[in-house]
Chains A and B, each alone.
Chain A
Amino acid sequence: MISNYFAFFLRVIHNNIIKVAVIVLMISANMFLFVNLIDISIKANKSAIQYNNNYGKTHFYCSGDAFEGDEFNEYWKTDSRNLYDKLKTFETLLRNDSHFSYVEAIEQPFEIIGMGIDDVFLYNYETGFGNDSIYKIGKDLCYCIKALEVSSEFFEVFDICISKGRSFDNSDYISNDKNVIPVLLGSDYSDCLSIGDSFDVYYMCEKYTCNVIGFIKEDSFFYDNSTSNMISCNRYIIAPALDVDDRTDFSRALMDQKLNCLICSDRSADEVKIIYDSLLAKAGLDNSYYFFNDIQFERSNNVFNTCSSMTKDVAFQTTMCSALIIVLSCLSIAMMICTLIRNNRDFFVINILFGASLKDVVLMIGLFVFIIVFIADAVDCMILHSMNNNRLLVTLQIMTLSIGALIAILSCFFFSKQDDFLNIGEDI
């Protein structure tokens, strides 16, 4: 009996090989497109939720220095320990305050020594002046590349994950005598560097060796205070914001940077400003040295809101497009299958004449649809397997079962609606 069901499939294949091939390709292409759209939609939804979780209730403010000329000169005097200590105290107070998170994400280019690097990593690449980032320091040819110094809060606030290797641990934030800095690389670096690789850099005029300890997950973003934009980490080197307390020029420069960072809190700007000013006073400083920026907050908050709403819009539009595509595809494929089946109606009529029931006919159609959906699925599986996308493979299998069932039901429905189903006058 089963052989009769297969006989129908073989007959259709034999008589309509091109039509069947087109249907298989259509199903395959639609399923491939659909699983990808679903994937994008899920990602976009996740991002929207993530944005909401990260930034929905959190307000971003920033702290900035307001050094005047004389104060600035005093700060750089090697014997001005008093001001340095005040800044250090202020930084410690900011970091330890329980009312907000103090996030250090400082853009500080590294100058890679003697190692050719792709233009996309150069500091000025995005502005079109990438060549300006290649120059000599002494005898060394240096490539000035995009880099970021971050504190541990950076990973929490921007939900930055590691795709390979490890993240920074507490000891990585402490400067060591060997001048070795552990670094994390953006995903675009994965083609040219690996975990364990080392390279020399000039970092704030000091020579350091960077040791690659991991890679940042692709398409991770951070908020750049200077441009009020969300920036991708893909082309960045991420270094720990080192804690150097030797009162050298290097440590003074670092300290100055550490106090030009983001403050994240669910409290209002007025509330945080009061806390900020109290910490400033506690450290023996006043508003002439550092200021709390709530104008920046308004701008940044809008950026986050825009990002969040854009992501939600994209998610919604993608879902709608996916739904529309799948409905139209299923209808058109079902109609093509119905035509094929109708063209081979005599097969069913002969079978019915000799004892087949309508259930047998439905099973023949079902098996036919199942096989062509299965072939289309196999094609997609091979493509996804070659792309190493196992997550989409699982989604595809679920989709295949759903689409196959939907097409089979639609085909059977259309076919059973033919009033002249058993009109054998011309068929035999």
Chain B
Amino acid sequence: MIKLKNIRVSYDKEVGESEALCGVNLEIDKGEFLTITGKSGCGKTTLLKVLCAIKKPDSGEYFYNGTNILSLKEKELCRFRNKSIGFIAQHFALIDKMTVYDNVELPLKYRRIRHAERRERVFDALKVIGIEQAVNKFPHQLSGGEKQRCAIARVLAQDADVILADEPTGSLDEKNTRNIVTVMKRLNSSGRTIVLVTHDKDVAMAGTRNINMRDGRIMI
């Protein structure tokens, strides 16, 4: 489903150029639950940025279901991010002045879906995740666990094939961490491909495959 070939990404640091990804090769199959672990600065987040097509690598190839993502135009990239990739961030990536409903509805608006259908999908997603009672609340009125559920509901409403999660449990306590892992497992069992970056070994164990990164490379 996803194929990365010799991906290289470097950042211009003030002191000098530093390579975040040094020729990464990775294949992810459909329905896989891949967890990525590694120390801070090893390139995990950069890899996710490349996967969700918001960071263009310096060199290499990125295929998604056979399509060369790096050759897509801006408009097609937007459509790719909107339809195929769902993103869950450590700090939830919720817009603070929007209600839970509006946050979950956000990707559907860019898909130009009719209002009634949007509404249905948003409520369905909230029900599945179990936070439909918070539909009119603002993010600052939610607990950490609820915020992350809201972020997951957004991905669910988006109906993305691939869910990229960057330390989704990093800001949560143990109980909420367990809940989120359960939800992720459930999403995976419903056929979605999940790529989850984590520091937490227990969370990493939840995946069907785990890879470890070090200094911008995937260690076998």
Contacts and interface: CB of A to CB of B under 8 A. Distances in A.
A353 B102 contact: no
Contact of A7 (B55, B75, B97): B97
Interface string B79-105: 101110001011111111110001000
Interface residues of B, number: 33
A356 B78 contact: yes
Contacts of B110: 1, 351, 354-356, 360
A374 interface: no
B52 interface: yes
Interface stretch (A48-56, A100-108, A247-255, A420-428): A420-428
A354 B97 contact: no
Which of B92, B93, B102, B166 has the largest number of chain A CB atoms within 10 A? B93
A422 B54 contact: yes
A170 B106 CA distance: 79
A14 B96 CA distance: 10
Contacts, number: 69
Contact of B54 (A7, A353, A360): A353
A350 B45 contact: no
Nearest to A3: B109
A3 B106 CA distance: 10
B95 A347 contact: yes
A161 interface: no
A7 B97 CA distance: 8
B99 to A, nearest CB: 11
A428 B78 contact: no
A10 B107 contact: no
B91 to A, nearest CB: 6
A358 interface: yes
A60 to B, nearest CB: 70
Contacts of A428: 89-93, 166
A11 interface: yes
B111 interface: yes
Interface string A336-354: 0000000000110111111
B28 to A, nearest CB: 19
Nearest to B103: A350
Interface in B157-194: 158, 166
Contacts of A347: 95
Interface string A1-34: 1011001001100110000000000000000000
Contacts of B87: 353-354
B49 interface: yes
Contacts of A351: 106, 110
A390 interface: no
Contacts of B106: 4, 350-351, 354
B95 A353 contact: no
A357 interface: yes
B98 A7 contact: yes
B8 interface: no
Contacts of A425: 45
Interface centre among A3, A354, A358, A424 (most CB of B within 10 A): A354
Contact of A354 (B45, B74, B82, B96): B82
B112 A1 contact: yes
B97 A4 contact: no
A150 to B, nearest CB: 69
Contacts of B74: 357-358
B93 A353 contact: yes
A229 to B, nearest CB: 65
Interface string A410-428: 0000000000001111001
Contacts of B79: 355
Contacts of A3: 109
A357 B112 contact: no
Contact of B158 (A1, A346, A354): A354
B93 A350 contact: yes
A4 to B, nearest CB: 6
B154 interface: yes
Interface string B46-88: 0001001011000000000000000000110011011100010
A355 B97 contact: no
Given A354-B81, A422-B54, A7 B102 contact: yes
Given A1-B112, A11-B96, A425-B45, A354 B107 contact: yes
Q: Lowest 10 CB-CB distances: which A-B pairs, in order?
A: A355-B82, A355-B110, A354-B107, A428-B93, A428-B89, A11-B97, A357-B78, A422-B54, A353-B87, A350-B93
12 contacts: A1-B112, A7-B97, A7-B98, A346-B93, A349-B93, A353-B81, A353-B93, A354-B107, A354-B158, A355-B83, A423-B55, A428-B92
Given A1-B112, A356-B78, 5 more contacts: A3-B109, A11-B96, A350-B106, A354-B81, A422-B55
